[in-house]
Amino acid sequence: MSIVKHSDKTLFLGIDLGTSQTAIMANNGNKELIRSVVGYPKDIIGVRLLNDTKVVGDEAVEKRSYMNLHYPLEDGVLKESGERDTQAAKELLEYAISRVAPGDRGRVCGIIGVPARASVTNKSQLLKIADELMDLSMVVSEPFMVAYGLNCLTNTIIIDIGAGTIDICAMKGTVPAPDDQVTLLKAGNHIDDILTSAIAESYPEVQITPLVAKKIKEQYGFVGKPAADVVVNLRSGGRPKAFDVTEELRFACETILPDILENVEQLITVFDPEDQEDALQHIILAGGGGQIVGLRQALLDFLQDHGDVNIIRVEDPDYAGAAGALKLATELPPDYWTQVGDVIGS
Ligand SMILES: Nc1ncnc2c1ncn2[C@@H]1O[C@H](COP(=O)(O)OP(=O)(O)O)[C@@H](O)[C@H]1O
Ligand SMILES: [Mg+2]
């Protein structure tokens, strides 16, 4: 594909709208990670304290005692339950764009990644929001963006382990068809919930929340054999005390394994037999959860009787999707966007 030169005025954006965080990259060199949450003050006192009627990202969580928090992307797709959620989604997107492109923007063309199997209504709802914020926007499947960013568009399997979903996708040189991808709903958040209850069961005196569990997982998460015992300080009776959570952590992290293994094995068969060897050489682990220690090895062990297998982890899981989207946005002439994804604008 030839690289087209656009007028210097056009601002191109690559956006990965994730359940837990939204990554955005612009062709002006700016990039930003924003927690996918919007807070609205609970009452007039909150408005005074905040000095505003809304706040996006980490600050919303910090001020949660006087905020109603909205996570607009439940399970990786737009919540469709209420007006507030749609508004929150728009405010999140608007905030993200303003972070990388403050001030005068000229023409804005953006590509937004959504989970592989997001519903049609969901995509069109997102496009409607995007249309209010950008001149031209396209929605494409997230694993496709990751693959595009890595130049791996054929004979590649992408495993993207996020907070709300795990998306597994077979890349066959075209935009993935429904049968080429699968979305699993037990992902990072599920591990946090399981770890929370496992610790509560082993140590009833400990005060544990999913937020604390998530931190433990992000620091020490592993499957298989532990490199060392995982001993963490938790609060019990209002005091910090050391607890060994090695087994609980392993158990929680391993809950996502069977589904991943089963679906990867199944997706190998959607490639033509003569391509399967090549596809097994190009398995890509993406998403925050792809960093769980031992995961790569567990996959390799499981697939060992399939022949030579090669699994790589994306270098920067936070930005891999957004970087691919930006690359696509700047390389593909906007006239062709309709052939790749759902487009709105002109
Ligand atoms: N080092 C790590 N080990 C294990 N899990 C991690 C790590 N870093 C982030 N995560 C988890 O990855 C998930 C977020 O991944 P991400 O790809 O950003 O998700 P999403 O696209 O759904 O927003 C969260 O569940 C987070 O706790
Ligand atoms: Mg993601």
Of 215, 232, 254, the residue at which a domain comes to its end is 254
- Residue 297 belongs to domain with CATH number: 3.30.420.40
Residues with CB under 6 A from ligand 1: 18-21, 76, 162-164, 188-189, 214, 217-218, 221, 287-289, 291-292, 317
Domain extent, residue 171, equals 148-186+256-313
The lowest-confidence range among 18-22, 196-200, 325-329 is 18-22
Paired tokens of 259: 């589904």
For residues 161 and 277, membership in a common domain is answered with yes
For residues 268 and 307, membership in a common domain is answered with yes
For residues 18 and 96, membership in a common domain is answered with yes
Ligand 1 atom 2: the closest Cα is on which residue? 218
Residue 2 has pLDDT above 50, yes or no: no
Looking at residue 77, its pLDDT comes to 65
Tens digit of each residue's pLDDT (9 = 90 or more) over 201-252: 999 999 999 999 999 999 999 999 999 999 999 999 899 999 999 999 999 9
Give the atom of ligand 1 at the shortest distance from the alpha carbon of 161: 17
pTM metric for this prediction: 0.87
For residues 51 and 134, membership in a common domain is answered with no
Average pLDDT, the chain: 90
Tens digit of each residue's pLDDT (9 = 90 or more) over 281-312: 999 999 999 999 999 999 999 999 999 999 99
For residues 200 and 223, membership in a common domain is answered with yes
Residue 124 has pLDDT above 90, yes or no: no
What's the average model confidence in pLDDT over 241-270?
97
Separation of CA 224 and ligand 1 centre (Å): 19
| 268 is a domain residue | yes
For residues 78 and 25, membership in a common domain is answered with yes
